[in-house]
């Protein structure tokens, strides 16, 4: 009998993998998906990874998977798991290599009609001021001491130096600085790889898009978020670049030794972990916070450069153009949080890998201006269709530790996409749709073809149907910058 045959349907959008499926599971698995998305997850092995995560010491509630689930390192991408802080573990595979990869959305007062006439000029200026691609170097030229300050203090330190706006901090997760960051827990190799990369877009699925608000679903929330139909906005999706990748690499090796020394039984060696309260667990969380601060600064710097580009093209200051930050949220983190589990409040470390925090109205972590609406959730789609702004729901706090999807989710591997789509042909096709594309390498552009991804509208409909988040607005790409 296949694993898919063992899955129990809870309702239209929730599926349970019972503990009886595998001896050693500490909790059941719960997958938020349509039947079609569930079957796709079974095909690439992601459901097996949901089961594997359920073996981790200290896991509470359930091993969860969002509808954009697909196979990843250790945890599935789209995996969520909460570990008890007292007797649970932290696992780098539950965060991923691109620590604090995330999304931010910058508003403007510009209308789609006035930007459309100058979209080519704007795209070229954005490409000029924002370095992109695998080996891209940034324009800030931070020295070692300045980089250490960025890792320890996050976006406030960058803004104090004139990069970004003070008011941005209110609308960045953790107010732009993750607590507990200690650069002393970051290796020299990680410093070397991160040097010069603050303010760079990177490659792969990272992007900067100029978008237009195409449709509003919730007028009250849209007004509260400062969104209106026809409005031009900027979405930035990037992470911690080489520094975060190296932090993950370093601590996976360290925790492999912990697993062997403590005889922790795991179904997959990619789930290496250490007790949250151990020295290795604490060190990882301190280094992860540094990488997260790096990622926040990276997106803040790109916001600064994007504002300059808009100002240059439209001849008005960024303030006159209304280029304020709506929100910035990460989707690759392990975060100490407090949640209700089986009827009582518990301190846990929530691993979200390819999953976005989506806190409900009233939570103190939500910016005061949005607290009556819930936390903004930013969900990028593929570059040929659309992206979404959502908001968190109270039901999601109980069902998913306040988590929802993070994007469309791949349905084709990068290699398969490159074999299927030619970069130049894809660029022409997108331009025929009115989408300007600025890409460093056509080969990498083909990896990100729209057909390589699931339909993000189906993903967010599942999240809404499952009570994790609700739609506020849909955004349509006008111009795309890719590495």
Q: Is 301 helix (H, G, I), strand (E, B) or coil?
A: helix
49, 266, 293, 41: which is closest to 175 by C-alpha? Answer: 293
Angle at 201 between CA 198 and CA 203, to 5 degrees: 125
pLDDT, tens digit, for every residue of 218-252?
999 999 999 999 999 999 999 999 999 999 999 99
DSSP-assigned beta bridge partners for residue 353: 79, 332
Task: Find all residues with CB under 8 Å of 135, minimum gap 6, and list them.
Answer: none
What per-residue confidence (pLDDT) applies to 442? 66
* Dihedrals phi, psi of 60, to nearest 5 degrees: -125, 155
Q: Supply the CATH number for residue 219's domain.
A: 3.90.1860.10
293 pLDDT exceeds 70?
A: yes
Q: Are 323 and 310 in contact (CB under 8 A)?
A: yes
- Whole-angstrom Cα distance, residue 134 to residue 432? 27
Confidence bin at 452 (pLDDT 50/70/90): confident
307 pLDDT exceeds 90?
A: yes
DSSP-assigned beta bridge partners for residue 199: none
216 pLDDT exceeds 80?
A: yes
DSSP string, 273-310: -EETTSHHHHHHHHHHHHHHHHHHHHHHHHHHHHHHHH
Asked if the structure places residue 396 within a domain, the reply is yes
62 pLDDT exceeds 80?
A: yes
Asked if the structure places residue 448 within a domain, the reply is no
Question: For residue 371, how far is the Cα from the chain centroid?
Answer: 21
Longest Cα pair distance anywhere in the chain, in angstroms? 65
Lowest mean pLDDT among 13-17, 45-49, 160-164, 409-413: 409-413
pTM, rounded to two decimals: 0.95
Question: For residue 468, how far is the Cα from the chain centroid?
Answer: 16
Asked if the structure places residue 58 within a domain, the reply is yes
What per-residue confidence (pLDDT) applies to 252? 98
- Whole-angstrom Cα distance, residue 174 to residue 329? 9
Domain that holds residue 286: 3-411+453-482
Task: Find all residues with CB under 8 Å of 329, minimum gap 6, and list them.
Answer: 102, 103, 104, 173, 356, 357, 375, 376, 377, 378
User: How do strand 325-330 and strand 29-32 relate by DSSP bridges?
Assistant: unpaired
Note if 422 is an active site residue: no
Q: Tell me the CB-side half-sphere exposure of residue 103, using CA atoms within 13 A.
A: 25
Task: Find all residues with CB under 8 Å of 1, minimum gap 6, and list them.
Answer: none
- Whole-angstrom Cα distance, residue 261 to residue 267? 17
What per-residue confidence (pLDDT) applies to 423? 77
449, 464, 408: which is closest to 68 by C-alpha? Answer: 408
Question: For residue 44, how far is the Cα from the chain centroid?
Answer: 21
Q: Are 103 and 378 in contact (CB under 8 A)?
A: yes
- Whole-angstrom Cα distance, residue 214 to residue 476? 6
Asked if the structure places residue 445 within a domain, the reply is no
292, 318, 57, 54: which is closest to 168 by C-alpha? Answer: 318
pLDDT over 70, % of the chain: 98
Asked if the structure places residue 100 within a domain, the reply is yes
What per-residue confidence (pLDDT) applies to 364? 96
Structure tokens at 233: 């906005």
Q: Tell me the CB-side half-sphere exposure of residue 365, using CA atoms within 13 A.
A: 20
Please state the domain count of the chain.
1
Q: What is the mean pLDDT of residues 17-43?
A: 96
What strand order describes the sheet that includes 59-70?
8-11, 14-17, 29-32, 59-70, 77-84, 344-353, 332-341
Confidence bin at 408 (pLDDT 50/70/90): confident
CB count within 10 Å of CB 141 equals 11
Pick the catalytic residue: 206, 406, 415, 422?
406
Q: Are 435 and 383 in contact (CB under 8 A)?
A: yes
pLDDT over 90, % of the chain: 84
Q: What is the mean pLDDT of residues 306-321?
A: 98
What per-residue confidence (pLDDT) applies to 416? 81
User: How do strand 102-106 and strand 77-84 relate by DSSP bridges?
Assistant: unpaired
Asked if the structure places residue 440 within a domain, the reply is no
pLDDT, tens digit, for every residue of 112-163?
999 999 999 999 999 999 987 655 667 788 899 999 999 999 999 999 999 9
418 pLDDT exceeds 80?
A: no
- Mark residue 31 as left, alpha or beta (left: phi above 0; alpha: psi -120 to 50; beta: remaining): beta
Asked if the structure places residue 462 within a domain, the reply is yes
Q: What is the mean pLDDT of residues 363-370?
A: 97
pLDDT, tens digit, for every residue of 160-177?
999 999 999 999 999 999
pLDDT, tens digit, for every residue of 82-96?
999 999 999 999 999
138, 167, 153, 170: which is closest to 375 by C-alpha? Answer: 170
Asked if the structure places residue 395 within a domain, the reply is yes
């Amino acid at each position: 009998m296949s694993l898919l045959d063992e899955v129990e349907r809870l309702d239209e959008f929730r599926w349970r993998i019972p503990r009886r499926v595998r001896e050693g599971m500490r909790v059941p698995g719960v997958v938020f998906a349509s039947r079609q998305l569930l079957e796709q997850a079974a095909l690439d092995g992601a459901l097996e990874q949901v089961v594997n995560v359920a073996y981790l010491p200290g896991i509470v509630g359930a091993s969860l998977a969002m509808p954009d689930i697909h196979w990843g390192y250790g945890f599935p991408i789209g995996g969520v798991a909460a570990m008890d802080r007292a007797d649970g573990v932290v696992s780098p595979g539950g965060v991923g290599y691109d620590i604090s990869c995330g999304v931010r959305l910058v508003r403007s007062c510009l209308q789609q009609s006035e930007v459309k006439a100058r979209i080519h000029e704007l795209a070229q200026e954005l490409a000029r001021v924002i370095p992109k691609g695998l080996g891209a170097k940034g324009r800030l030229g931070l020295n070692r001491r300045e980089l250490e300050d960025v890792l320890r203090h996050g976006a406030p330190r960058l803004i104090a130096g004139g990069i970004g706006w003070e008011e941005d901090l209110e609308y960045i997760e953790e107010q732009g600085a993750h607590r507990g960051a200690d650069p002393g827990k970051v290796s020299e190799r990680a410093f070397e790889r991160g040097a010069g990369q603050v303010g760079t877009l990177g490659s792969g699925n990272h992007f900067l898009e100029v978008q237009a608000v195409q449709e509003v679903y919730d007028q009250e929330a849209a007004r509260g978020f400062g969104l209106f139909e026809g409005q031009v906005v900027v979405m930035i999706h990037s992470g911690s670049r080489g520094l975060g990748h190296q932090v993950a690499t370093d601590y996976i090796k360290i925790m492999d030794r912990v697993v062997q020394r403590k005889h922790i039984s795991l179904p997959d060696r990619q789930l290496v972990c250490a007790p949250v309260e151990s020295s290795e667990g604490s060190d990882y969380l301190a280094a992860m916070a540094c990488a997260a601060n790096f990622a926040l600064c990276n997106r803040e710097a790109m916001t600064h450069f994007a504002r300059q580009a808009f100002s240059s093209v439209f001849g008005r200051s960024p303030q006159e153009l209304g280029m304020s930050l709506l929100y910035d949220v990460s989707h690759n983190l392990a975060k100490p949080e407090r949640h209700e589990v089986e009827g009582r409040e518990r301190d846990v470390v929530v691993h979200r890998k390819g999953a976005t925090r989506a806190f409900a109205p009233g939570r103190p972590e939500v910016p005061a201006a949005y607290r009556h609406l819930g936390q903004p959730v930013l969900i990028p789609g593929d570059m040929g269709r659309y992206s979404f702004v959502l908001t968190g729901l109270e039901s999601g706090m109980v069902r998913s530790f306040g988590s929802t999807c993070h994007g469309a989710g791949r349905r084709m591997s990068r290699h398969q996409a490159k074999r299927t789509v030619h970069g130049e042909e894809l660029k022409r096709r997108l331009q025929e749709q009115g989408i300007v594309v600025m890409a460093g390498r056509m080969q990498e552009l083909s990896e990100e073809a729209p057909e390589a991804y699931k339909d993000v509208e189906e993903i967010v409909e599942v999240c809404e149907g499952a009570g994790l988040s609700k739609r506020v607005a849909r955004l349509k790409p006008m111009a795309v910058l890719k590495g």
